[in-house]
């Protein structure tokens, strides 16, 4: 039997390792986002289970936002903790612990009694567990995504990063369709509907099983990246201290501005739009869920195309173009939906799909861009912290809407915030370098030279 040449066998092994790392990051993000959207979608039909009856509409919206935002606010702490561990102890081991952590948190939420049993303590516990959940969720992709991209060939990095991020829209589709099926099968009406008592718990238990099961798979199948193993010893400072110095700090601030715009725009679609579909577009809860699921299914396919396009034209031009579209096209698409000018499920669905594509396609490229923006010694800390700390200011979107609400109907206030977010994306992307040509295994000095603004954006041979 003829043996393969050593270089061929090595190439095949590297491809398998890279594929497993990519699948590990993609499915990990799928489970991550599955858990993020559990309270937004699953608890939507039974909000009264955790809150007192008779709340004013504005108060109820703020409380719903607080439950969603608690997870997002926990992410920067998770990125700080697990980003440090990833840069110092390794990507692989650090990716496993958060999977176990948010799996257990999700399980505990599924066991919570409601307001009728614990009073306001039920809400406090829900928000606290969502915050802790966010800590672990912020740690998972902080390590797993850099590991997968470090294992990817440079010419396929745009594709790899986009495939990883499809875990987000696919998770949204899965949980939306699962919730719709549960509401249709398990009665949700009446004084004590079965869905409110126990039906909503099923997706939480499923999310916990997925997280714990995937942690086991990841531990058995994914290997550490060569870039991290072959890194040179640093200055002795912690990765976070190194991040907050010189060029790393400038890069962090640049990405912070970029991601603040990305997150603010996403909140208008991910958190505000579902309510607008019911209040202004006249869709039922089931109809709005199905419409959004279809839009996110289309988005998952578009992500791959966006990643490939960014590999051809560059990450920076792609992100600048996305910022312009967010500032100009997104408000024009949001307006007829929020003003009630569209009637019928099909026209609304087309407008929603277009809006989601315009706003959320940015995510297909930002992770790949940020990972290559920083050298291997601080990469996980920089990626995790710049990605997640930028969540904080946009997370208070419900309060920012109060300003435009003085001269606009409340459901039209996202138009102003979409314009602002697009400007932030353009400023953040335009003020940074191109990153598609960067060698992710480069040491700090070489990486810094590769990111000089004067450098051509074409890939190196």
**For 225-246, how does the pLDDT look when each residue is reduced to its tens digit (9 = 90+)?**
888 888 876 656 788 899 988 8
Instruction: Indicate if the pLDDT at residue 402 is higher than 90.
Output: no
- C-alpha 284/C-alpha 287 separation (Å) is 5
Average pLDDT over residues 341-360: 93
Instruction: Indicate if the pLDDT at residue 47 is higher than 50.
Output: yes
Q: According to the model, what pLDDT value does residue 166 have?
A: 95
- C-alpha 81/C-alpha 130 separation (Å) is 17
pLDDT tens digits along 428-461: 999 999 999 888 887 676 777 777 764 444 444 3
Q: Is residue 183 part of a domain?
A: yes
- C-alpha 419/C-alpha 413 separation (Å) is 11
Q: Percentage of the chain with pLDDT > 70?
A: 88
CATH number at residue 267: 1.20.1250.20
Q: Is residue 291 part of a domain?
A: yes
Average pLDDT over residues 184-207: 80
- 66-70, 135-139, 204-208, 304-308, range with the lowest pLDDT: 66-70
Q: Is residue 10 part of a domain?
A: no
Name 305's Cβ contacts closer than 8 Å, sequence gap at least 6: none
Q: According to the model, what pLDDT value does residue 384 have?
A: 93
SS (H, E, C) the chain: CCCCCHHHHHHHHHHHHHHHHHHHHHHHHHHHHHHHHHHHHHCHHHHHHCCCCCCCHHHHHHHHHHHHHHHHHHHHHHHHHHHHHHHHHCHHHHHHHHHHHHHHHHHHHHCCCCHHHHCHHHHHHHHHHHHHHHHHHHHHHHHHHHHHHHCCCHHHHHHHHHHHHCHHHHHHHHHHHHHHHHHHHCCCCCCCCHHHHHHCHHHHHHHHHHHHHHHHHHHHHCCCCHHHHCCCCCCCCCHHHHHCCHHHHHHHHHHHHHHHHHHHHHHHHHHHHHHHHHHCCCCCHHHHHHHHHHHHHHHHHHHHHHHHHHHHHCHHHHHHHHHHHHHHHHHHHHHHHHCCCCCCHHHHHHHHHHHHHHHHCCHHHHHHHHHHHCCCCCHHHHHHHHHHHCCCCHHHHHHHCCCHHHCCCHHHCHHHHHHHHHHHHHHHHHCCCCCCCCCCCCCHHHHHHHCCCCCCCCCCC
Q: Is residue 460 part of a domain?
A: no
Q: According to the model, what pLDDT value does residue 399 have?
A: 87
- C-alpha 108/C-alpha 128 separation (Å) is 11
Q: Percentage of the chain with pLDDT > 90?
A: 48
- C-alpha 285/C-alpha 186 separation (Å) is 15
Q: pLDDT-derived band of residue 220, with 50, 70 and 90 as boundaries?
A: very high
Number of domains in the chain: 1
Q: Which two tokens stand for residue 252?
A: 């962090």
Q: According to the model, what pLDDT value does residue 4 have?
A: 45
Nearest partner of 30 among 102, 81, 93, judged by Cα: 102
Distances, alpha carbon 232 to alpha carbons 95, 133, 252, 435, 443, in Å: 22, 34, 22, 21, 7
Half-sphere exposure (CA, 13 Å, Cβ side) for 342?
23
Q: According to the model, what pLDDT value does residue 392 have?
A: 84
Average model confidence (pLDDT) across the chain:
86
Half-sphere exposure (CA, 13 Å, Cβ side) for 51?
20
Q: Is residue 458 part of a domain?
A: no
Instruction: Indicate if the pLDDT at residue 7 is higher than 70.
Output: no
Average pLDDT over residues 319-327: 97
Q: CB–CB of 227/153 below 8 Å? A: no
Q: Is residue 232 part of a domain?
A: no
Q: According to the model, what pLDDT value does residue 60 have?
A: 66
Which residue range forms the structural domain that includes residue 145?
Answer: 20-224+237-450
Average pLDDT over residues 411-428: 96
Q: Is residue 337 part of a domain?
A: yes
Q: Is residue 414 part of a domain?
A: yes
Q: pLDDT-derived band of residue 330, with 50, 70 and 90 as boundaries?
A: very high
Instruction: Indicate if the pLDDT at residue 57 is higher than 70.
Output: no
């Amino acid at each position: 039997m003829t043996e393969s040449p050593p270089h061929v066998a090595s190439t095949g092994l590297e491809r398998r390792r890279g594929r497993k790392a990519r699948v590990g990051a993609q499915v990990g993000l799928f489970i991550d986002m599955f858990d993020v959207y559990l309270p937004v979608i699953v608890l939507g039909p039974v909000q009264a289970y955790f809150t007192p009856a008779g709340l004013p509409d504005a108060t109820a919206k703020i409380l719903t936002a607080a439950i969603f935002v608690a997870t997002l606010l926990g992410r920067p702490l998770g990125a700080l903790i697990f980003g440090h561990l990833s840069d110092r102890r390794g990507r692989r081991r650090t990716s496993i612990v958060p999977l176990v952590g948010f799996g257990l948190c999700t399980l505990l939420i599924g066991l919570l009694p409601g307001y009728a049993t614990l009073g306001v303590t039920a809400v406090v516990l829900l928000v606290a567990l969502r915050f802790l959940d966010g800590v672990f969720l912020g740690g998972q992709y902080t390590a797993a995504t850099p590991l997968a991209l470090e294992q990817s060939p440079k010419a396929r990095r745009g594709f790899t990063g986009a495939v990883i991020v499809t875990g987000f829209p696919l998770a949204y589709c899965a949980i939306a369709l699962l919730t719709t099926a549960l509401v249709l099968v398990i009665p949700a009406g009446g004084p004590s509907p079965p869905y409110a008592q126990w039906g909503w718990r099923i997706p939480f238990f499923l999310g916990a099983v997925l997280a714990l099961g995937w942690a086991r798979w990841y531990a058995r199948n994914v290997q550490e990246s060569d870039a991290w193993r072959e890194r040179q010893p640093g200055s002795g400072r912690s990765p976070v201290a190194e991040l907050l110095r010189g060029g790393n700090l400038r890069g962090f601030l640049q990405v912070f501005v970029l991601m603040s715009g990305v997150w603010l725009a996403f909140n208008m679609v991910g958190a505000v739009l579902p309510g607008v579909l019911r209040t202004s577009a006249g869709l039922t809860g089931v109809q709005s869920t199905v419409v959004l699921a279809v839009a996110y299914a289309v988005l998952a396919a578009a992500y791959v195309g966006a990643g490939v396009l960014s590999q051809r034209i560059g990450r920076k031009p792609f992100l600048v173009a996305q910022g312009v579209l967010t500032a100009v096209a997104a408000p024009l698409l949001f307006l007829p939906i929020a003003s009630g000018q569209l009637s019928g499920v099909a026209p609304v669905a087309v407008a929603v799909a277009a809006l989601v594509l315009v706003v959320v396609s940015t995510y297909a490229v930002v992770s790949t861009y940020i990972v290559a923006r920083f050298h291997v010694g601080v990469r996980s800390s920089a990626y995790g912290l710049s990605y997640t700390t930028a969540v904080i200011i946009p997370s208070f979107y419900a309060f920012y809407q109060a300003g435009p609400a003085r001269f606009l109907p409340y459901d039209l206030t996202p138009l102003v915030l979409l314009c602002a977010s697009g400007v932030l994306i353009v400023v953040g992307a335009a003020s940074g370098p191109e990153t598609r040509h960067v060698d992710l295994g480069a040491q700090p000095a070489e990486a810094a030279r590769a990111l000089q603004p004067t450098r051509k954006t074409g890939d190196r041979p």
